[in-house]
Amino acid sequence: MSDILIIDHGSTLVKELESALEERGYNPKVRLYTDLTGISAADYNKIIFGGGNTPIGGDYILDNGVGIDKKVIEEERILRECQEQGIPVMGTNHGAQTIAHLSGGTTVKLAEARQGYSFKDYKLVQYDPILKGIEITDEKVKMSVLEWHGFGIKSVGADYHVIVEDGKGGVQIARHNDSPIYIVQSIPYAKRPKDNPQTNAKLIFENFLNMPAGKR
């Protein structure tokens, strides 16, 4: 059994994610989002919906080059299995938007794409253990994260609740109400030696990896 399944949407950072997991003693298995038939969520301890650049919804039609139904059915099926079995899931960046869309939420095109590290106070909506170790003052979550996306999450479905909002009311972090399924609109595992940022986003990544399975 491979510890963690990475669902790759064509991200240039998938090797970085693999490396981050291997450094922590995990044995990740990568499957492209178009190649999920036969995958059972029960075979994995955790699942990460990774980044990429495939259309998923919001201001444009859901499509992935192999037909709308295949992506919806397979990714939604895996997400449903995780929800039913309490398997921890984290969607990062594009993967976060995918989960938001599948949950019944909405994504929107940003007026200006976010490409780089963001150092700012995000708004705390509801505390969650995914934020353990991150400074929170006066309902402000002091995070420095790498964001690289042209679309943002406007809302999540009724079965999810928002944990952190960005400065413009967009969803930054959200969670399923009953299962440890997280939407994280950033890249918490990213390494950028050239920039050498003082980032604390890896705490989100570590907290997810330490998240036990099970439903509330």
Domains of the chain: 4-209 (3.40.50.880)
Chain center to CA of 54 = 15
Picking from 31-35, 122-126, 194-198, which range would have the lowest pLDDT averaged per residue?
194-198
Whether 202 has a pLDDT exceeding 90, the answer reads no
Task: Determine the Cα–Cα distance for residues 214 and 216; give it in Å rounded to an integer.
Answer: 7
**In the structure, what pLDDT confidence band is assigned to residue 195 with cuts at 50, 70 and 90?**
low
SS3 at position 44? coil
The number of residues in the chain equals 216
Q: d(Cα 1, Cα 67) in Å, to the nearest integer?
A: 30
E strands within 20-63? Answer: 28-32, 46-52
The pLDDT value recorded for residue 64 is 40
User: In this predicted model, what pLDDT tens digit does every residue of 85-142 receive, in sequence order?
Assistant: 999 999 998 889 889 988 989 888 777 767 666 667 789 999 999 999 998 998 898 8
The one-character DSSP state at 130 is G
